[in-house]
Structure 1
Amino acid sequence: MDQNEQNLQMALADFKAGKFKSSRQAAIAYGVPPATFNDRLNGKKPRQIAYQYEHEQQLTPIPWTGTIRPTVINKN
């Protein structure tokens, strides 16, 4: 775990323990961008983990069901 991640984890722990009144104060005290702090606080995963299995995340192909019909607009 690198230094930035450690700072983020310490900021999260201290904020959850009630040592700071706001998430912004906790983020600034530990030198973490407030947006990143709030993302993690709301459950967003770090990029390294979120994209770890990206190659396995493939969309299921949708079978073709017919032709595309143009929309005709009546100007009457």
Structure 2
Amino acid sequence: MATPSATTTLRAGLPDRYLTPDDIADMFDLPSVETLYTWRKKRTGPPAFRVGKYLRYDPAAVQAWVSEQMAADNAA
């Protein structure tokens, strides 16, 4: 059984796992994961947390961040 992509599962509902930087970069069609690391340093991107040395994203927090970005764009 094939595992659906992060983009598909986030649109269909929350995936049953935390997302990796590669998942987020694919979802937002970013040039590289380095963009996420830059956002993290500037505290402008979706919230992430560390599991040991690995960076992970909670799908619910990513959805909330996207909603905030859309609301800010609509308010401007």
Q: Normalising by the residue count of structure 1, what TM-score does the alignment of the two structures yield? A: 0.28
Q: Which is bigger in relative contact order (C-alpha 8 A, separation at least 6)?
A: 2
Larger Rg: 1
